[in-house]
């Protein structure tokens, strides 16, 4: 089933999915949708391109990524800030990353807070910033001579377990869990992030014939549990503690996890998916995301469905249906998509430029699936431009705003009060009063139409800008370039709070309200 686009595509697609039983809805240009890209830093997958690049080049390359995905109407970046016991920010808890400076423990030159800078640049372009950490992976190889003396391998060798050519933190040790929790807490306290994000690396993927040597810990802490149940308990305790810590510090910061795409196979558990996956979350990585969601410990989940729609052993179509039926209503469900496989996989479905667009369309057929995340950033950076063109013309033609995660949703009744609107030859300048009922405003969203009667903030095509604001005493100000208003005479303004809730609109007729500077 390889679908092709045409002017009749939306109708054909709806009919097809009605017949095969997938579809509940399909919206061509949703106003609300999560559109994220992972920016991987480990071994310089996406950024920096080279660890030896100058700070100036690294900054320019990061901005290039942001600008590329802003033009594609994405609205979230998931940036890897800790990959192998290191950090892309100054901290006494880990050394500077070698992937940033060429040598682990070496600070940038000139020195600056890389993470703070990245967050500012992302927010300036209207992106949510999700800080992505790999908690358990301590090294990427066994070349310990390349590690900083401040790496935990040297400071706490008793925490390490060698497995498959890497070192891992032992998830069973209370002191490891406390240390990793402290790392997350520091990031939440110091930085204006929108989310903490973990991916699929919990206990390592199994390698045939090699055992993860945690026997001593099991004998000490096993407490009568079977080995698999004990390992799952270790991960569960860690996830619970991270969730609790985040919410105590900054309740608006989301906690999201992107697990491997198969929870369990149906052949092992009747509640599992109709797949034949060689490894699964529950049985091999000792991770139970269904349990975490049921206990309300994570705000969103992004299962990595890195297969084609019709894959023989792990079908995207079957798996998205399974996840849509098994994610509780208290957790936002997004889907992870594998742009890295385009024209680069033994599965020939990936040679079809419509595979990713079709996956997005299928995602939209499930009401409780609120968007997608794509691994990884470099695959649409002057690559796969035929796929990019389809996204620009169809799926991502207009901007979209992420919805608040379920536990953050609340109705906002207050609207923006405008102090003044002025204009010169280049920009409109609008100042607002600070909303009285809220302490935190993240963005102002600007809508435009031919006249005030045509304003409709549910129409994605009317979104002109999403502007990060900084509060100034009792209010804040924004600038809107004049060129964005060509052919329009009316604005509407809403604000988005730190929980991603959007206010009702304030509508202004520019011909009546604007003063000229």
- Bin 165: left if φ > 0, else alpha if -120 < ψ < 50, else beta: left
Residues 291 and 358 placed together within one structural domain of the fold? yes
pLDDT one-digit tens code per residue, 286-307: 999 999 999 999 999 999 999 9
pLDDT above 90 (res 511): no
CA 260, 265, 269, 272 torsion-angle sign: positive
Q: Which residue(s) pair with 447 in the sheet?
A: 463, 492
pLDDT one-digit tens code per residue, 349-380: 999 999 999 999 999 999 999 999 999 999 99
pLDDT above 80 (res 439): no
Would you tell me how many other CB atoms lie within 10 Å of the CB of residue 155?
Answer: 12
Question: Total structural domains in the chain?
Answer: 2
| DSSP assignments along 163-207, one per residue | ETTEEEE-TT-HHHHHHHHHHHHHHHHHS--SEEEE-S-SSPPP-
Would you tell me how many other CB atoms lie within 10 Å of the CB of residue 37?
Answer: 28
Residues 150, 98 contacting (CB under 8 angstroms): no
**Token pair for residue 331?**
């957790």
The pLDDT assigned to 513 comes to: 66
Q: Answer whether residue 334 is part of any domain.
A: yes
Q: Answer whether residue 70 is part of any domain.
A: yes
Residues 212 and 283 placed together within one structural domain of the fold? yes
Residues 416, 435 contacting (CB under 8 angstroms): yes
Residues 395, 357 contacting (CB under 8 angstroms): yes
pLDDT above 90 (res 2): no
Residues 188 and 304 placed together within one structural domain of the fold? yes
Residues 274 and 128 placed together within one structural domain of the fold? yes
The pLDDT assigned to 27 comes to: 80
pLDDT above 70 (res 308): yes
The pLDDT assigned to 517 comes to: 58
The pLDDT assigned to 63 comes to: 98
Q: Are strands 475-481 and 427-433 parallel, antiparallel or unpaired?
A: antiparallel
- Give mean pLDDT, residues 196-219: 97
Rounded to whole angstroms, the Cα distance separating 277 from 279 reads 5
**What is the torsion angle, in degrees rounded to the nearest 10, for the CA atoms of residue 118, residue 197, residue 204 and residue 276?**
-120
How many whole angstroms from its chain centre is CA 496?
Answer: 18
End-to-end Cα spacing for the chain:
59
Residues 351 and 243 placed together within one structural domain of the fold? yes
pLDDT one-digit tens code per residue, 210-262: 999 999 999 999 999 999 999 999 999 999 999 999 999 999 999 999 999 99
Place of tokens 């930085």: 191
- Helix axis angle for 55-71 and 114-124, nearest 10°, is 30
Residues 181 and 257 placed together within one structural domain of the fold? yes
E strands, 205-347, where? 254-257, 300-301, 332-337
CATH number of the domain enclosing 448: 2.60.40.10
Residues 462 and 492 placed together within one structural domain of the fold? yes
Residues 379 and 420 placed together within one structural domain of the fold? no
User: Which residue range forms the structural domain that includes residue 290?
Assistant: 28-136+171-405
Residues 100, 93 contacting (CB under 8 angstroms): no
Residues 365 and 470 placed together within one structural domain of the fold? no
Residues 392 and 441 placed together within one structural domain of the fold? no
In the listed set 405, 438, 454, which residue is the last one of a domain according to the structure?
Answer: 405
Q: Answer whether residue 265 is part of any domain.
A: yes
Q: Answer whether residue 7 is part of any domain.
A: no
pLDDT above 70 (res 514): no
Residues 322 and 391 placed together within one structural domain of the fold? yes
Residues 192 and 277 placed together within one structural domain of the fold? yes
């Amino acid at each position: 089933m390889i679908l092709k686009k045409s002017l009749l595509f939306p109708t054909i697609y709806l009919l097809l999915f009605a017949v095969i039983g997938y579809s509940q809805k399909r919206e061509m240009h949703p106003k609300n949708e999560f559109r994220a890209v992972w920016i991987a830093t480990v071994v310089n997958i996406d950024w920096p391109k080279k660890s030896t690049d100058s700070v100036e080049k690294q900054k320019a390359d990061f901005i290039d990524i942001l600008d590329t995905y802003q033009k594609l109407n994405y609205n979230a970046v998931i940036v890897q800030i800790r990959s192998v016991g290191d950090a892309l920010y100054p901290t006494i808890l880990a050394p500077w990353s070698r992937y940033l400076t060429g040598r682990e423990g070496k600070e940038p030159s000139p020195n600056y807070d890389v993470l703070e800078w990245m967050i500012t640049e992302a927010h300036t372009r209207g992106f949510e910033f999700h800080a992505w950490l790999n908690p358990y992976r301590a090294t990427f190889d066994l070349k310990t001579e390349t590690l900083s003396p401040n790496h935990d391998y040297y400071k706490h060798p008793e925490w390490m377990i060698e497995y498959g050519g890497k070192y891992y933190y032992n998830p069973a040790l209370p002191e490891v869990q406390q240390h990793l929790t402290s790392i997350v807490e520091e990031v939440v306290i110091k930085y204006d992030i929108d989310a903490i994000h973990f991916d699929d690396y919990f206990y390592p993927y199994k390698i045939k014939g090699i055992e993860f040597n945690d026997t001593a810990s099991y004998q000490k802490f096993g407490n009568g549990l079977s080995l698999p149940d004990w390992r799952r308990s270790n991960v569960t305790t860690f996830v619970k503690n991270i969730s609790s810590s985040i919410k105590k510090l900054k309740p608006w910061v989301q906690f999201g996890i992107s697990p491997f795409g198969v929870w369990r196979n149906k052949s092992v558990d009747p509640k599992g998916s109709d797949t034949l996956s060689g490894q699964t979350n529950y049985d091999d990585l000792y991770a139970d995301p269904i349990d975490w969601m049921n206990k309300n410990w994570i705000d969103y989940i992004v299962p990595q469905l890195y297969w084609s729609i019709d894959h023989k052993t792990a079908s995207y179509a079957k798996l998205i249906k399974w996840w849509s039926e098994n994610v509780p209503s208290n957790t936002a469900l997004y889907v992870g998509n594998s742009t890295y496989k385009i024209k680069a996989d033994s599965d020939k479905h990936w040679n079809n430029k419509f595979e990713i667009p079709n996956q997005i369309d299928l995602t939209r057929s499930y009401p409780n699936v609120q968007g997608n995340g794509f691994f990884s950033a470099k695959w649409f950076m002057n690559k796969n431009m035929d796929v990019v063109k389809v996204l620009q013309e169809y799926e991502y033609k207009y901007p979209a705003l992420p919805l608040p995660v379920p536990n953050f949703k609340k109705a906002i009744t207050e609207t923006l009060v405008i102090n003044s609107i002025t204009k010169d030859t280049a920009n409109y300048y609008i100042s607002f009063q600070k909303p009285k009922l809220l302490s935190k405003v993240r963005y102002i969203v600007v809508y435009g139409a031919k006249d005030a009667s045509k304003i409709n903030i549910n129409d994605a095509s009317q979104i002109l800008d999403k502007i990060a604001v900084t509060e100034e005493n009792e209010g804040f100000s924004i600038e809107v370039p004049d060129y964005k208003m060509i052919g329009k005479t009316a604005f509407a303004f809403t604000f988005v709070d730190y929980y991603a809730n959007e206010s009702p609109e304030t509508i202004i007729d520019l011909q009546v309200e604007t003063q000229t500077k």
